Amino acid sequence: MQKTFFTAVLTAVMAAMSCTETSAQTLKASFTDVGNDTILVSVMGADPKTGSRRDTLLAKDGKFEYSLKDNKPARAQFYAIQHLTPNKPEYKPFGMVLVPGEHAVVSGTTDNFTITGSAFYTEYGKAVAPLGAFDRERAAVIAKYRPQLSDEKADPATVEKLRAECAQLVSAISEKRKAATIDYIKAHPSSDVSVALVTDMGLNSIEEGVKLLTDAARQSSIAPLYKNVLEEIKAYREKKAKGMALEGKPAPSFTLNDINGKPLKLESLRGKYVVLDFWGSWCGWCIKGIPEMKKYYDKYKDKMEILSLPDDERPDAFFAINDDTAIGILYTAKRLGFRVPEDISICGFTNGERSVACDPMLTTVEQRGVAVGEEAANILISQVEGLLPRNEVAMRVVRTRLVVRGTTR
């Protein structure tokens, strides 16, 4: 699936006033590379425990508007879904800050844009413009190396060499971007713009940026966005320190059931290298890496063992968010030696053309997307014509249909 991807740091800043509430922040965007599209929004607040909020917008001729639902600091990601090209996602990064009580106007393309609006955004636009140049340079390097790195027929040694070259170039560009950010913060240590830039620094750099801020800037209402990151870094270091205390000592004994339900003790593998693979059925990259680990096991199985430790009990069924995900689970399960549906049942959620092109054919839920669109359009028309209140959520039920095929028992 080809996607235009742009990441925004949404920051809700409450003005330091005793009696006056800050008005809602607004963003008006106009992108020449978006067109008519659905914009998916994921907003993460300052408290990671609350999780993220999801929303959708409609872009018409590349134009859309967005406002935060409250006045609390938040980060957000926007996805403009443009084309459907299976297995070939392409992203264009876009980052900015939104401040309640002020307005932002963004125009250009999702990877090369200008920011104007209120006084804050005038200054912010100047600050992020050179950073965008580094982002485009980094994206160009990745795009150059991507075809060679994804070539499954290429020589592994050559691929690793190219991967190292790409990583070195990307790292150099990231360092230049970091240096430019640090230079701005040094020159403007009391500015809210500097605080906003700190929130967008990487985990390895954010502490350096915070140290350059004045005490007043650290009390900014934007600051909670980076403070929760600092707490996560602290917790990670404490956890890592506990782990290092065990380094070089015998591994603690444990007993777990194997894939057949029989108990397996770690001591029974003494004399071999043991790889503990902690993974989750919810982790796409974990699933993607399992076939590669199997290759290494086949090559070194006389000297090593791999203990695959999911963070939950092995499921005997998957209900996927769409057919493509379900088909990916299907073929991964088969590569791992599981029988479908005898060992694992799988159900998709689309009933697209690919659901009958896999083996076995996919059990799925027919969404009736046309009917969903019609109901949504009726709600919108009714609100425009005043037949439904605009400040209330209208609910419609479109009945789906279960299509039973070969991936379920």
Q: How far apart are CA 353 and CA 232, in angstroms?
A: 44
pLDDT value, residue 95: 66
- The pLDDT assigned to 14 comes to 33
pLDDT at 111: 81
The predicted pLDDT at position 201 comes to: 84
- Give the span between the Cα atoms of 366 and 404, in whole angstroms: 10
What was the pLDDT predicted at 134? Answer: 92
Query: 15, 94 in Cβ contact below 8 A?
Result: no
- Would you kindly state where each structural domain of the chain is located, as residue ranges? 2-236, 255-310, 317-403
Nearest to 407, CA basis, from 370, 335, 367, 355: 355
> 254: number of CA atoms within 13 Å, CB side?
8
Q: Divide the 409 residues of the chain into consecutive groups of 10 and give the mean pLDDT of each group.
A: 39 36 69 83 66 76 85 74 44 67 87 89 92 89 84 82 90 93 96 90 84 93 81 78 72 80 86 83 71 86 82 75 88 77 90 84 88 84 78 79 90
Q: What's residue 51's pLDDT?
A: 58
Q: What is the pLDDT of residue 407?
A: 94
Q: Could you give the CA distance from residue 355 to residue 337 in angstroms, rounded to a whole number?
A: 21
Q: Is CATH 1.10.3720.10 correct for 255-310?
A: no
Residues 6 or more apart in contact with residue 140 via CB below 8 angstroms: none
| Token output for 36 | 């008519």
* pLDDT for residue 190: 94
Total-model pTM: 0.57
Distance of CA 226 to the CA centre of its chain: 18
